[in-house]
């Protein structure tokens, strides 16, 4: 089985590859006439340095860490998205892309050294045991949480299915702490949240894991039944979605397309070029679609937005996306050695646009104003995007091909001009929690209802507020 994906921090799997075996012809390889002689000399140099560090460093180093850091240094020098995954990080990545694990079913965050419950997930062990939002968890199996990081605490709460754990809970309104025994079960991360906005179906897609497409289709079916014949259209919210599995991004795009290309991937060699095609059938029944994006929309999110934009199937509203247009391959290194994450290709939208270090520009730019308390904090910061990452891949296009049918303003019938690719920093990635304060969402609702006016749309100027890439977004609750 082979899976591919375009995540900003989650990645393409090559599950059938158990490791990497390199066979060197030692006799010929060390020959002065060998074309690889310089390579082997450099490898000998690495070995000399490694032994010198092991023998002479002021403290005895950890050999495993030395090798792991050396490998990671080699990979991270290539681009911002290639790296080494330790066995633990590799396992965590698999859990993230699979979208399910053994756990309790609560979203948590860290507050004043203890775990605070953001919300229990419906129909999970935690909700059945009576855990409530805003509960504080101070001990796990009678061991204090104080001193642990959020990641360490979450790891302790996760575990094999059908194993118990005791939580010590402090709850407002109760004088003394009390213990709650919870038995772990399979927890599925729901990457899709949907709700009715009167006559419009609103669907938030937070990531592209193995559950995304199925949950999207299920949500669309439920919303169709709830709204009924008055359904005007769909809002697909991809803001601050850092990416995910390629097959899921393709399936989500295909839900709204009847035919045509969805995405192209191009590797180092021409024979590595692949094209994904849409299949007949539109799950939205041809209803109007708006896709919301911002500076936190990266990778697989940009695949969906780019495909629907090029086919003129959706109106893209918001601000410029992050601009990650490269493909990573996860190559396992055996059962105990972790894996490497290696950039192996670039992806292109159906009209052959590379969004690498450029992003997807929305059809309608709507800026989200920052609240006053955040304006001062970011006043001196620059927008962030792929183009702002050190060592990022350059946009490969000599020219940028405009989407089919595009025409320059005021030149009816003229061909769309070709322009030099311009690398762009990202855009604002702030989204208010309150829907009524969400300028982009409110504009999308008015747009689908036919009541939007140009006066509400910001002019396409360079953003003055910084965008958060997937590694810089606001802290989010962690499910466990």
* CA atoms in the 13 A half-sphere facing the CB of 234: 28
Exposure string of 350-366, with b = 16+ CB inside 10 Å and e = fewer, is bbebbbbbbbbbbebbb
Q: Which of 237, 247, 310, 361 is catalytic?
A: 310
Residue 376's alpha-carbon distances to 131, 238, 466, in angstroms, are 38, 27, 12
Report helix, strand or coil for 380.
coil
Does residue 299 have an active-site annotation? yes
Task: Give the H/E segment covering residue 245.
Answer: none
Among the options 219, 299, 321, 388, which is catalytic?
A: 299
Instruction: Output b/e per residue, 204-214; b: 16+ Cβ within 10 A.
Output: bbbbbbbbbbe
Which residues have a Cβ under 8 Å from the Cβ of 133 and sit 6 or more positions away?
117, 118, 119, 120
- Compute the C-alpha angle 442/293/307, nearest 5°: 120
Please, which residues bridge with residue 374 across strands?
none
User: Residue 89 — φ and ψ, nearest 5°?
Assistant: -65, -35
Handedness of CA 171, 176, 177, 183 (dihedral sign): negative
CB 308 within 8 A of CB 278: no
Can 401 be counted among the known catalytic residues?
Answer: no
Give the Cα separation of 205 and 193 in Å (integer).
Answer: 7
Q: Report which of 439, 399, 396 is spatially closest to residue 416, judged by C-alpha positions.
A: 399
Distance of CA 450 to the CA centre of its chain: 32
CB 12 within 8 Å of CB 329: yes
Tokens representing 51 are 């032994």
Length of the chain: 480
Strand (E) or helix (H) holding 221:
helix 212-227
The reply to whether 465 belongs to the active site is: no
What backbone phi and psi angles, to 5 degrees, belong to 146? -50, 125
| Nearest alpha carbon to residue 223 among 251, 252, 193, 194 | 194
| β pairing state of 192-197 and 178-183 | unpaired
Catalytic residue among 204, 266, 324, 358: 324
Separation between Cα atoms, residue 354 and residue 334, nearest integer Å: 34
**What is the spatial distance between Cα 302 and Cα 76, in angstroms, rounded to a whole number?**
23
Neighbouring C-beta atoms of residue 235, cutoff 10 Å = 24
Mind telling me the catalytic residues? 299, 310, 324
């Amino acid at each position: 089985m082979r899976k591919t994906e375009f995540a900003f921090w989650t990645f393409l799997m090559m599950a059938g590859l158990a490791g990497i075996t390199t066979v060197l012809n030692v006799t010929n390889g060390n020959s002065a006439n060998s074309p690889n002689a310089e390579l082997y000399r450099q490898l000998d140099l690495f070995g000399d340095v490694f032994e010198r560090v092991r023998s002479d460093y002021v403290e005895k180093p950890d050999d495993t860490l030395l090798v792991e850091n050396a490998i990671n240094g080699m990979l991270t020098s290539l681009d911002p998205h290639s790296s080494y995954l330790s066995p633990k990080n590799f396992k965590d990545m698999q859990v993230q892309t699979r979208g399910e694990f053994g756990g309790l079913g609560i979203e948590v965050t860290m507050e004043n050294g203890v775990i605070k419950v953001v919300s229990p997930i419906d129909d999970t062990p935690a909700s059945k045991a009576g855990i409530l939002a805003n509960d504080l968890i101070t001990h796990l199996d009678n061991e204090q949480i104080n001193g642990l990081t959020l990641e360490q605490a979450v790891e302790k709460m996760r575990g094999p299915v059908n194993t118990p754990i005791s939580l010590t809970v402090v709850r407002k309104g109760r004088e003394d702490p009390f213990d709650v025994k919870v038995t772990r079960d399979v927890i599925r991360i729901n990457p899709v949240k949907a709700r009715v906005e009167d006559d419009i179906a609103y669907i938030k897609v937070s990531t592209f894991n193995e559950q995304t497409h199925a949950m999207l289709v299920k949500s669309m079916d439920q919303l169709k039944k709830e709204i009924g014949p008055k359904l005007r259209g769909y809002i697909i919210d991809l803001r601050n979605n850092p990416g995910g599995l390629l097959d899921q991004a393709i399936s989500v795009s295909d839900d709204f397309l009847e035919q045509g290309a969805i995405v192209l991937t191009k590797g180092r060699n021409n024979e590595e070029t692949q094209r994904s095609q849409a299949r007949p059938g539109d799950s939205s029944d041809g209803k109007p679609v708006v896709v919301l994006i911002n500076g936190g929309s990266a990778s697989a999110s940009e695949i969906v937005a780019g495909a629907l934009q090029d086919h003129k199937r959706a109106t893209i509203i918001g601000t410029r996306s992050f601009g990650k247009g490269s493909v990573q391959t996860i190559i396992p290194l055996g059962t105990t050695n972790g894996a490497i994450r290696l950039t192996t290709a670039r992806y292109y939208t159906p009209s052959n646009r590379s969004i690498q270090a450029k992003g997807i520009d929305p059809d309608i730019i709507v800026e989200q104003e920052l609240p006053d308390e955040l304006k001062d904090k970011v006043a001196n910061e620059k927008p962030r995007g792929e183009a702002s990452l050190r060592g990022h891949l350059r946009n490969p296009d000599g020219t940028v091909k405009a989407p089919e049918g595009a025409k320059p303003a005021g030149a009816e019938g003229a061909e769309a001009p070709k322009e030099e690719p311009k690398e762009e920093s990202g855009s604002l990635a702030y989204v208010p929690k309150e829907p009524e304060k969400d300028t982009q969402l409110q504009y999308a609702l008015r747009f689908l209802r036919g009541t939007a006016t140009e006066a509400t749309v910001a002019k396409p100027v360079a953003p003055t507020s910084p965008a958060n890439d997937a590694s810089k977004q606001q802290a989010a609750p962690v499910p466990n």
